[in-house]
Chains A and B, each alone.
Chain A
Amino acid sequence: MVSFVEVFPYVVVAWVLAVGLYGIVTSRHLVHSIVCLIVVQSSTYVLLLGVGYKRGAAAPYFNDITQRHTPVVDPVVQALALTDVVVEAAVTALLLAFAIQAHKRFGTLDPQDLVQLKG
């Protein structure tokens, strides 16, 4: 029987992902959808760090670890999480720029109205 603590990180991932997706689907404002996309992407950080966790392991920093063979949590997924953050920042910046241009051209940021304008 798996304990609650063992599945909890994955429950958090699923919840954050679902909340973000729900926000995007029901969004009435493009900036709100962009923020929801950030929420969706945040679930991947939790997933990466959760997957790389090892029971009883230290952080992968050997400044004060004298034993070189002390188990540490996986440094590779942590590095990937960093990449994830950078990509998110880049995507957010570009999407916000597009939202500004959409508002300038159509005078609205409601996806419902933007669909009706057809380009």
Chain B
Amino acid sequence: MTPGQRRWIFLAAVAGLAAFYLWGLAGLPGFGNYPGPYGNIIARVAVSQTNATGVVSAVNFEYRGFDTVGEEFILFIAATGVATVLRHLRGERDRTALDEARDRQVPGTSEAIRTAALLFTGPTVLLGWWLASHAQTNPSGGFQGGVVLATAFMLIYLAGEFLVFERVSPVDITDAVEAVGAGGFAAVGVAAVGYGLAYLTNFLPRGVYPGAVFSAGTIPLISFFVGLEVAAAFILIVSELLEQTLVIRQGG
């Protein structure tokens, strides 16, 4: 198929898609008139039921906590999948680094980048933990905090070399952290079963003040485990990909 033909088929398909889209839009109640009953009910009862003032986190880690277990394991499996797809294949060997364009002058990391990256590492870690530990009150949570935490490790990579990055995030430890994060979430759910409650029931005391750090029972605990899992998964995925660029450059 030539690119021209493909473009015509695409235009025909888009016309059909647009027709269905407009048809669907015509059935919507109009922008700003959301009629869904679940959101209204949850927004009304969430604060008194969970003592979390961030209703989105309450939805994620309590009302549909079981879905979030699956969501977390999607990321866990993705990291496993990346590691599996990028494993050492037969006939692949690590060779010393050689650039494909041999005569290219690759400049070293400049002092400005190094300083800026190191300067931002500490605050980024702090921000990540703050986000991961305040799910019950902020528009944040383990997913957001975990990604920010992983960014701190990317900054170390930017500041130094890949080898330093590997030293501060050894694969074994990152693997273990990821397993603790994923398993911890599931274990919180099983612990509720041990108390004779349904899986993932919020069995911890909900605190006195809504939205305080120690409030909302299992919501901050789950968020903490999710933060560990997400940070470790992202570090693993990125280090796997970085390792590949090294191998490919070496192949040249």
**A residues touching B (Cβ–Cβ < 8 Å)?**
2, 5-10, 14, 18, 21-22, 25-26, 50-55, 59-63, 68-69, 71-79, 82-83, 85-87, 89-91, 93-94, 96-98, 100-101, 103-104, 112
Contact = CB atoms under 8 A, between A and B. Distances in A.
A82 B10 CA distance: 30
B32 A54 contact: yes
B15 to A, nearest CB: 11
A26 B248 CA distance: 27
Nearest to B138: A61
Contacts of A53: 31-32, 34
Contacts of B79: 93
Contacts of A5: 31
A31 B64 CA distance: 34
Contacts of B210: 62
Contacts, number: 149
A65 to B, nearest CB: 8
A41 B181 CA distance: 27
Given A18-B14, A61-B53, A78-B56, A89 B7 contact: no
Interface string B56-100: 101110001001100100110111011001100000000000000
A73 B31 CA distance: 12
A87 B82 contact: no
A82 B138 CA distance: 14
B122 interface: no
Interface stretch (B42-50, B103-111, B169-177): B42-50
Interface stretch (B154-162, B183-191, B196-204, B236-244): B236-244
B241 A61 contact: no
Interface of B: 3, 6-7, 10, 14, 18, 21, 25, 28, 30-34, 36, 38-40, 42-44, 46-48, 53-56, 58-60, 64, 67-68, 71, 74-75, 77-79, 81-82, 85-86, 137-139, 141, 143, 147, 210-211, 234, 237, 240-241, 244, 248
A74 B86 contact: no
Nearest to A25: B10
Given A61-B54, A75-B46, A25 B7 contact: yes
A69 B44 contact: yes
Contacts of A59: 139
A75 B43 contact: yes
22 contacts: A7-B31, A9-B31, A22-B14, A51-B34, A52-B34, A52-B36, A55-B33, A61-B137, A62-B211, A71-B43, A73-B39, A75-B56, A75-B58, A78-B56, A86-B71, A89-B234, A91-B78, A93-B81, A96-B82, A97-B86, A101-B86, A104-B248
A18 to B, nearest CB: 6
Given A59-B139, A60-B43, A69-B44, A100 B71 contact: no
Nearest to A55: B32
Contacts of B46: 62, 75
Given A26-B7, A94-B78, A100-B241, A68 B34 contact: no
Contact of B3 (A26, A69, A85): A26
Contacts of B32: 6, 53-55
Contacts of B43: 60, 71-72, 74-75
B6 to A, nearest CB: 6
A6 B44 CA distance: 26
A82 B143 contact: yes
Contacts of B56: 60-61, 75, 78-79, 82
